[in-house]
Structure 1
Amino acid sequence: MAFERITVDPARMGGLPCIRGMRVTVSAVVGQLAAGRTIDEILADYPYLERADVLAALEYAAAAVSERELPLHGDAR
């Protein structure tokens, strides 16, 4: 799966996945969504981002965790 809007550059933001080469990390965007912020609120804070950027960050994060199982609190396995 290709992520055209997500870039990784070892010289930028410590090599973390970023949105279109900017200094906005995927984790920053996804973290705001997880905190209950809406896409419109995120776009107001980052006017240089586009709705497709936020959705790409969410898609990238979902793909990143789909490759492995993460232990959850109370998981009896």
Structure 2
Amino acid sequence: MSLDWSQCPAVERNPAKVSGAWLFKGTRVPVVALLENLRGGATIDDFLAWFPGVEHRQVIAVLQHIGDS
């Protein structure tokens, strides 16, 4: 399943940043990093500690977007 990330306000895409990957807005942290870390057993708090530029509300918005899709 392919998600339409353009509808999620917490992310952005810029071809000049991180090879055009979907990133948490205002960061260089790819959304896929969250998904891979959660899949690997990390908690949201772990992820936020490891990627301090990402805000809790952005993580929640991304997870909500996945749930709604």
Q: TM-score, normalised by structure 2?
A: 0.75
Identity %: 33
TM-superposed CA distance for 1:48, in Å, is 2.1
Could you tell me whether the CA contact under 8 Å between 2:24 and 2:58 is conserved in 1? yes
| Residue number in structure 1 paired with 2:58 | 53
Q: Any unmatched runs of 5+ in structure 2?
A: 1-5
1:6-44 superposed Cα distances (whole Å, 9 cap, x missing partner): 001111111110001311000011110111100111111
TM-superposed CA distance for 1:45, in Å, is 1.0
Q: How many residues align?
A: 63
Could you tell me whether the CA contact under 8 Å between 1:13 and 1:23 is conserved in 2? yes
The structure with the largest alpha-carbon Rg is 1
| Residue number in structure 1 paired with 2:18 | 13
RMSD (CA atoms): 2.0
